[in-house]
């Protein structure tokens, strides 16, 4: 019986300039991890900490990790420059007290998500009259914000529009007028 030597190949298309294939396990054409700059590293924008190839909330790792000699590296969320993957539109919030309560709830959901994963965050909140627009870095965070507002405010309808392409999810919550 004749042995056949088969080499598995992978295609790398994530980073600019790295195209082609390389055998699994070889370093030819491989993308170096962010941690090549040295771990731990701290993002100067949001103060998240890169440790063990993942971004962590600074408050969670600062007690047991020495950050005095940490390098300064921007995280992916800060590097994206405000690009968003989710959009939440809240309509019909005419009363300023009600609008402030809903915005506080939205910020709470965003802070909770950011503690869990520093790259999940609220990119921006804009208020125009009775309409509030929230941009999120992750589409699942936009969905979570919409569901939390819908559960907290009775008398509204929630509409979620997913894109067939790689575009942001759009979540719209409308207050039903009585």
How much is the pTM? 0.68
The pLDDT of residue 82 is 67
Per residue in 81-130, pLDDT (tens digit) is 767 889 999 999 888 898 999 999 999 999 999 888 888 889 889 999 88
The pLDDT of residue 8 is 35
Percent of the chain with pLDDT over 90: 30
Per-residue pLDDT for the chain (178 aa), expressed as one digit of tens each?
A: 554 444 333 333 333 333 344 444 444 433 344 445 567 888 887 878 887 787 887 777 777 777 777 888 888 777 877 678 899 999 998 888 989 999 999 999 999 998 888 888 898 899 998 899 999 988 899 999 999 999 998 888 999 998 877 778 899 999 887 6
Task: Locate the domains of the chain by residue range.
Answer: 33-79, 81-175
The pLDDT of residue 38 is 62
φ, ψ for residue 60 (rounded to 5)?
Answer: -80, -30
């Amino acid at each position: 019986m004749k042995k056949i030597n088969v080499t598995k190949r992978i295609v790398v298309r994530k980073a600019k300039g790295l195209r082609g294939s390389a055998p699994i396990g070889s370093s030819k054409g491989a993308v170096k991890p962010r941690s090549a700059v040295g771990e731990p590293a701290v993002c100067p924008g949001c103060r998240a900490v890169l440790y063990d190839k993942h971004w962590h909330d600074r408050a969670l790792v600062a007690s047991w990790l020495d950050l005095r000699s940490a390098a300064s590296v921007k995280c992916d969320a800060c590097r994206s420059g405000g690009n968003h993957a989710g959009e939440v539109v809240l309509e019909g919030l005419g009363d300023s007290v009600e609008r402030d309560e809903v915005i506080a709830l939205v910020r709470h959901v965003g802070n909770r998500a950011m503690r869990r994963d520093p790259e999940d965050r609220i990119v921006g909140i804009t208020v125009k009259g009775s309409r509030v627009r929230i941009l999120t870095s992750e589409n699942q965070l936009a969905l979570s914000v919409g569901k939390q507002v819908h559960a907290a405010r009775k008398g509204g309808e929630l509409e979620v529009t997913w894109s067939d392409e790689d575009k942001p999810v759009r979540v719209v919550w409308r207050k039903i007028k009585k």
